[in-house]
Amino acid sequence: MTLAHWAASHRRSILFLLAAATLAGVFCIFSVPVALFPHIDFPRVSISLDAGDRPTQRVVNEITRPVEAAVKAVPGLREERSTTSRGSAEIDLNFAWGDDMDRKTLQVESALARVLPSLPQGTTFEVRRMTPTALYPVASYSLISGTVGQVDLRNIAVHELVPLLSAVPGVASVSVQGGAKREYRVDIHPDLLVGYHLSFDDVVKALSSSNILQVVGRVKDGHKMLLAISDTRVEGIDAIRHTIIRSGGDGIIELSDVATVKKSIVPQTSIIDEDGRPAVILQVFQQPDGNTVQVVRDVAAALAGFREKIPQGVTVREWYDQALLVVESAHSVRDAIFIGIGLAALVLYLFLRDAMITLTAVIAVPAVLSATVLLLYALGMSFNIMTLGGMAAAIGLIVDDAIVMIEQIVRHIGNEKEKRHENVRRAIRDFLPPLTGSSASTIIIFLPLAFLTGVTGAFFKALSLTMASALAVSYFVAWFAVPLLADHLAGSHGGNDEGGPLFRPVLSAYAALFGRFVKRPALALASVVILLALGGLAYLHVGSGFMPSMDEGGFIIDYVSPPGTSLKDTDALLQQV
């Protein structure tokens, strides 16, 4: 028994499987994650170190080099790069592609935890994995107010909005930019220091040692072990003023004896404005497996509930939404599907003039794409610009598979209605080898992209797997489902009309042109050479790039002020822009 006979005898089972796969794919559409870029585990971990206002050379000697020595012990580390500036340092650690970056990140954090006690007091660090979701926020919001100060506005963002948005499912982190931080400023009088025979280091040590929370011992109380804690943290400006700098036979010298303490704000290194007004910006980053559209929707819902509790005079505005770009990409694929189905239906109907046969292609294309979504779900992939682009690019090939199989079946059926089933099987048998060769060659072209390494391979793996999956599903649908649907839906179509009155002139012109090329092979060769030359010339003038340009409906202006310009003057220049 041939496969054609087997398919005919299992007609209902095959059509049921097609319908089941199509419905399953439709349900999976609502379960597949949505993101702008595919999930990529870049083999890089970035460490950000903050050390206050220490000079660059001190940061290098006291912080950067000890941390570099500590993280060198992480297994699999291939390259280490660091950039040190005043009060901060950035260390990038590169690993091999394919390494378990969750494990590597934990090992880096463990190494930093071991070396942190030996670093200068007050040093903090942040470990970040380099992923697309960690580089670009999915949503950004601004807080502005004409009545609430910048310190209070930032406190609202840090202490109320960050915990609220961090609890939203799919949110990885929320960063805050802008506003002002409150601090206590100590202005030391050098002449008074000299008079008391003190130095700046004496003041720094006194302040550092008087603001510590630490365990100093253990006390056994019956069956309990209690910890003895020394808490010398300052709780107000008066406590800072009464900090003891030195005590001895000549008396006690407090900070207020040699310095002035007053409330202030942390010096700003950047200014955030919206429409010319100071603002605080919240940036929401999603988890690698999060659904961008759902995350943005849930964040907006959480903020809508918070607006009822927000202080009067404070406004929360959305100024960036990555979900809009993702939705537009999905709409582009939807439009491509409708256009592909419409063109396929138009071509088939104009050629065959049979509405029921045309319905076969209309059914096949969305069935193939729906089954492809089911495969994406099974492979753990997401809807992103690469997978959606792969589906859009595959639509033409899917339509082509359906059209050529239907045309072959109609040509074999002809007017022999009584032998229709046998002619359909014969059409499958005759057309299966070229269909297999065509589909296999196309799939083989895209599959190697899935094995590329580096950043290119990480991005194009999603594209290649999507197209290969769609073409594989299209092949089996064209092999099994399309003939069964065509056999069931075929009417009394006349197969010898040769395209009808509309395409008969086209066929005649093609036959005449083909005859000339057959009689004059040199003319055909010259035409090919000319086309190759034009293609090569066009190749030299076509631009190149890693990713296509994306228009999000906005633009960014970067400007550079003269060296040495203060932040206040730079902001004044921007206000004029």
Residue 407 has pLDDT above 50, yes or no: yes
| 177-183: average pLDDT | 86
Q: How far apart are CA 243 and CA 208, in angstroms?
A: 10
Element (H, E) at 224: strand 224-231
- Identify the burial level of 432 via C-beta atoms within 10 angstroms of its C-beta, where 0-12 means exposed, 13-18 middle and 19 or more buried: middle
* Interval 148-171 mean pLDDT: 89
Q: Which residues contact 504 (CB under 8 A, 6 or more apart)?
A: 498
Mean pLDDT of the 32-58 span? 84
What local confidence, expressed as pLDDT, does residue 8 receive?
Answer: 65
pLDDT of residue 417: 57
Cα(472)–Cα(20) distance, rounded to whole angstroms? 17
Q: What is the pLDDT of residue 498?
A: 55
CA neighbours closer than 13 Å in the CB half-sphere of residue 242: 8
pLDDT, tens digit (0-9, with 9 covering 90-100), for 440-462: 888 888 888 878 777 777 778 88
Q: Which residues contact 240 (CB under 8 A, 6 or more apart)?
A: 184, 186, 207, 234, 255, 261
How far apart are alpha carbons 494 and 340 in whole angstroms? 26
C-beta separation of 392 from 336 below 8 A: yes
The pLDDT, as a whole number, for residue 247 is 81
Residue 269's nearest CA partner among 576, 555, 50 is: 50
Q: Confidence band (pLDDT; 50, 70, 90) for 530?
A: very high
**Partners of residue 183 on adjacent β-strands:** 264
End-to-end Cα separation, the chain, in angstroms:
79
* Six token digits for residue 179: 């506003």
Spell out the residues 6+ positions from residue 563 whose beta carbon is closer than 8 angstroms to its own. Answer: none
Mean pLDDT of 175-203: 86
Mean pLDDT computed over 156-168: 90
Residue 262: Cβ within 10 Å count: 11
Identify the pLDDT of residue 3.
Answer: 65
- Is the alpha carbon torsion for 293, 296, 298, 301 positive or negative? negative
Q: pLDDT band for 552, please (50, 70, 90 cuts).
A: low
271, 278 Cβ separation under 8 angstroms: yes
Planar angle of CA 50, 54, 58, nearest 5 degrees: 100
- Phi, psi for 249 (deg, rounded to 5): -65, -25
Question: Cα separation of 234 and 268, whole Å?
Answer: 24
* Per-residue pLDDT tens over the stretch 466-481: 999 999 999 988 888 8
Q: Give the separation between CA 241 and CA 259, rounded to whole angstroms.
A: 8
Question: Span 512-526, mean pLDDT?
Answer: 83
Task: State pLDDT tens for residues 246-281.
Answer: 887 778 888 888 888 888 888 877 888 887 788 899
Condensed to tens digits (0 to 9), the pLDDT of residues 208-231 reads 777 777 777 788 877 788 888 877
User: So what's the pLDDT on residue 534?
Assistant: 92
Q: Is 382 strand, coil or helix?
A: coil
Residues in the chain: 577
Cα 62 to chain centroid distance, Å, stands at: 36
Report the mean per-residue pLDDT for the chain: 82
pLDDT-based confidence at 496, cuts 50/70/90? very low
CA atoms within 13 A on the CB side of 225: 2
Distance CA 19, CA 480 (A): 13
d(CA 491, CA 409): 12
| DSSP output for 234-277 | --SHHHHHT-EEEEETTEEEEHHHHEEEEEEEPPPS---EETTE
Where residue 532 falls among pLDDT bands split at 50, 70, 90? very high
* Alpha carbon distance 433, 443 (integer Å): 15
For the residues 94-114, what does the mean pLDDT come to? 88
Are the C-beta atoms of 101 and 45 separated by less than 8 Å?
A: yes
Could you give the CA distance from residue 348 to residue 503 in angstroms, rounded to a whole number?
Answer: 12
**Structural domains of the chain sorted by starting position, each given as residue range(s) with its CATH number in brackets:** 3-31+353-497 (1.20.1640.10), 41-130 (3.30.70.1430), 183-265 (3.30.2090.10)
Looking up tokens 């189905």 gives 341
16: Cβ contacts below 8 Å, ≥ 6 apart: none
User: CA–CA separation, 284 vs 279, rounded Å?
Assistant: 16
**Exposed / middle / buried, residue 276 (Cβ in 10 Å: 0-12, 13-18, 19+):** exposed
The residues near 173 (Cβ < 8 Å, ≥ 6 apart) are 166, 285
Q: How far apart are CA 414 and CA 99, in angstroms?
A: 60
Whether residue 533 has pLDDT greater than 90: yes
With 0.85 as the threshold, say if the pTM is over it: no
Place of tokens 């000319």: 530
